[in-house]
């Protein structure tokens, strides 16, 4: 194909795929945020969710192991989610109390 026959934007396939993946990741992140917000067993105020290439990364603080596990479980049914990396730290509530 010569220069005059080139169709579409000037972005190559890799750049277009990257843009598509960013939109997909954004949709997945929104779905994850909604799922955790709806999950009544989890205090999501200190949970951070980032999504990259279809993988959700959980970081932040929860107050017990049950909350850590439940937070991950709340995301299991999101269709486009490929995997979950749970890096939530467990810090018990009593460590937050002031003397």
Residue-range domain boundaries for the chain: 13-92
Q: Check: CB of residue 75 under 8 Å from CB of residue 32.
A: yes
Phi-psi region of 65 (alpha: psi -120 to 50; beta: other; left: phi over 0): alpha
pLDDT of 26: 96
Spell 64-73 as b/e; 16+ CB within 10 A means b: eeebbebbbe
pLDDT of 12: 58
SS3 51: strand
User: For the segment 55-77, what is each residue's pLDDT rounded down to a tens digit?
Assistant: 999 999 999 999 999 999 999 99
What's the predicted TM-score (pTM) here?
0.75
SS3 28: helix
CATH tag, 13-92: 3.30.1340.30
- Tokens 């999501």 — which residue? 44
């Amino acid at each position: 194909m010569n220069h005059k026959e080139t169709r579409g934007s000037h972005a190559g396939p890799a750049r277009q795929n990257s843009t598509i993946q960013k939109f997909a990741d954004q949709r997945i992140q929104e779905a994850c945020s909604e799922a955790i917000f709806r999950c009544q067993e989890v205090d999501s105020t200190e949970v951070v969710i980032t999504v990259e290439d279809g993988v959700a990364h959980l970081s932040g603080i929860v107050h017990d192991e049950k909350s850590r596990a439940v937070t991950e479980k709340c995301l299991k049914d999101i269709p486009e989610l490929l995997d979950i990396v749970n890096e939530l730290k467990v810090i018990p509530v009593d460590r937050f109390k002031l003397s």
